[in-house]
Structure formats: structure tokens, C-alpha cells
Amino acid sequence: MSRCPVCGKTIKWEDLIEQMLIVDNFRELLKDKSVFLSALEEFVFKCPECSEEFYGRNLNLKEAEKVFELLNEFNGSIDYDNGKVRLKLTNLLALDLMLEEWDKRVKGAR
């Protein structure tokens, strides 16, 4: 779950990535995970709840890595013309975590 470091409210990853779409070479960022992550860390996000600004390095970077993978995995995940993220990233991350947990439990039960 990504949270605003100022007010603690949950912010959807799709909203965060939409803010980043203003970066000129955003498409290029998606070609290299380390480039993407360092751009995200340096990016100044604005919380939709309290309007405070914060650096991306305050976000959960493990989730950011998964977001990178999800965006690359699905063709057309981003609608560049309208500046929209089509994927429900937050839901996909939750599902991913759930499957991981389930996998651990199944393996642990053996």
C-alpha cells in the first residue's frame, strides 16, 4: 500500500504514475528498472488528499518495482494520449501479495 508520508492517507499507484506521465521521456523510463526507480525517487508527487508535496523515495520502493513490472507486462497499460493509467495497479498489487501469501502458506503446510 502506498501512503502519503505527510497525512498517511492511501494513494493509489495509478494516481501516482499518472502524475509521473508529465516526465518527457516516461516511455524510456519503462525500459530500465533502475532508471525508472531513480526517476521515481527524485520525482515530486502531490498528495491528492492533503495537497502536500513529497519525494517518491518516501514511497514503498518494493511496490514501485512491482508497478514497473506490471506496467511492462501489460501492453497498452498506459493511455499516453489522455495521460491515464489503464491498469488498476493498486488492485493488482494487492492480488499479487495475496498470491504470495497463499503460496507461502501452501508450502509451509507441507
Name the helix (H) or strand (E) containing 85.
strand 84-85
- Find the binder of Zn ion among 4, 16, 29, 37 (CB under 5 A): 4
Asked if 53 is part of the footprint of Zn ion (rule: CB under 5 A), the reply reads no
Cβ-proximal residues to 81 (8 Å cutoff; 6+ apart), any chain:
none
6-14, 18-26, 27-35, 96-104 -> range binding Zn ion (CB under 5 A): 6-14
- Find the binder of Zn ion among 1, 10, 31, 50 (CB under 5 A): 50
Beta carbons of 15 and 2 less than 8 angstroms apart: no
Asked if 59 is part of the footprint of Zn ion (rule: CB under 5 A), the reply reads no
Asked if 20 is part of the footprint of Zn ion (rule: CB under 5 A), the reply reads no
Q: How many helices (H) and strands (E) does the chain have?
A: 5, 4
Place of cell 498528495: 47
**SS3 for 41?**
helix
Instruction: Return the number of the residue (42 or 49) whose C-beta is nearest Zn ion.
Output: 49
CB of 19 to Zn ion, least distance (A): 13
17-25, 42-50, 69-77, 84-92 -> range binding Zn ion (CB under 5 A): 42-50
Angle at 15 between CA 10 and CA 37, to 5 degrees: 90
Residues lying near Zn ion in the complex (CB under 5 A): 4, 6-7, 47, 49-50
